[in-house]
Amino acid sequence: PEIDFIVRGEGEQTVVDLIKTIQNKGKFSDVRGISYRNNDAVVHTPPRPLIENLDTLPYPAYHLVEKHLKQYHFTMMAGRNTRYMILEGARGCNHHCSFCTQWNHWGSRWRTKSAKRIADEIEYLHNTYGGVFLWFADDHMRLGTRGKQLYEELRQKESNKDVMLFFQARIDDIATHPDLMAKLRNVGTYWILCGVETNSEEMLREYKKGIKTQDAYQAMNVLKQNDIFSQAMFVIGGRKDTHKSIERLRQYSTDLTPDIAIYTALTPFPGTIYYETAKKNGWIEDTNYSNYDMAHAIMPTETLTRKEVQEELWRCYRNFYGSLTRGITGVLSKNKLKRTMYQHMAGQFVLEKFRRLI
């Protein structure tokens, strides 16, 4: 009863249409892309077509939150004195990873704003609001096409000397475009997150990733050669996972030597291929969506209980971050972001030890 309307999908045009309809006392059934109650029934109007030209959208109304921007910083990633802001360059993805919701949510399409629009917004955020650490919200960077165009635009901007860009990229894209990575580093690319996922070719096929394990080694090397901070993502808890296979993944993640590693429990998000498969086969043991954060084990494997999957996840973190050598190397790193990250983690470790004494 607390919810009057739900806007489904892209909201920019739908919200405006809905507000005008309310103001003019029009028919809600004429507003595409909403759901609402009509007495005891729930009405779903037809979906609204996707916006074809994202450049037609105005910049977000940053001026409405300007007084709060000083509170936004990502201490662990860039320090407390570096203003952190998010921008969007594209929507959707043209790949079909079985555990990902995004390609399905956006109609299995990838749409991008023009490289000029993106570069202009970066300059605007920096010059107007002091944005320095800028996080691309894009699910897929598509280095081979848009990456080249973006470099050409950014190299003409003075702001590229001051900003630090963070984005997600596929490891095969990174591996096959080493020269482009060097160029992007020169115009402010400091941090890249990439989905390595697993050392098992069989599981990569199951996840429909379209990558090879060798791509990960090449990608990590390219990032290191260009002094770009590397964040590698890994998944455990696939149906074939065992104690031994997860131990091999831990060794693999160590051998790759990313600057940081994030380990996640395979999570059957509604709207994904994996959810439909897991639901059909009765694999889902936890239906409390507040636990669907990729840090809680939701399903067992063929040989591991859900509790054992959870324990293996923590073991992955202890193995990677429990290395004294890695910690010291990180704290003393010449790479500013890596140094900031590991100094923050070291500080948190000392603080936690102190708390246990009082």
Check residue 1 and give its pLDDT: 64
CA dist 38 → 9, 14, 24, 185 (Å): 21, 19, 19, 54
Residue 353 pLDDT > 70, yes or no? no
CATH, range 54-321: 3.80.30.20
351 pLDDT higher than 80: no
Cβ neighbourhood burial of 41 (10 Å; 0-12, 13-18, 19+): exposed
pLDDT value, residue 348: 74
pLDDT at 195 over 60: yes
Q: Using CA of residue 223, residue 229, residue 233, residue 234, what is the dihedral sign?
A: positive
What tokens does 342 get? 């590991």
- 200 has a pLDDT exceeding 80: yes
Q: How far apart are CA 153 and CA 183, in angstroms?
A: 12
Rounded mean pLDDT, 154-163: 90
The answer to whether the CB of 254 falls within 8 A of the CB of 319 is yes
At residue 74, the pLDDT reads 73
**DSSP, residue by residue, 98-133:** TT-SHHHHTTT-EEE--HHHHHHHHHHHHHHH---E
CB 168 within 8 A of CB 194: yes
Q: Which residues pair with 164 in a beta bridge?
A: 133
Q: Phi, psi at residue 168, to the nearest 5°?
A: -100, 140
pLDDT at residue 309 above 70?
A: yes
pLDDT band at 295 (very low <50, low <70, confident <90, very high): very high
Question: Would you state the structure tokens that stand for residue 253, as one six-digit string?
Answer: 């993640």
> What is the pTM for the complete model shown?
0.91
Domain boundaries, the chain: 5-44, 54-321, 327-358
What is residue 315's predicted lDDT score, i.e. its pLDDT?
95
Distance CA 197, CA 264 (A): 9
- Buried-state track 73-95, b at ≥16 Cβ within 10 A, e below 16: bbebbbbeebbbbebbbbbbbeb
- pLDDT for 314 equals 95
Residue 357, pLDDT > 60, answer no
Q: Is residue 211 packed enough to be buried (19+ CB in 10 Å), middle (13-18) or exposed (0-12)?
A: buried
Q: What average pLDDT does this structure show over 205-223?
A: 96
Cβ contact 339:190 at 8 Å: no
pLDDT in tens, 16-48: 999 999 999 999 999 999 999 998 899 999 999
Instruction: Give the residue-averaged pLDDT of 86-94.
Output: 94
| Sign, Cα dihedral of 237, 232, 214, 177 | positive
Predicted pLDDT of residue 356: 60
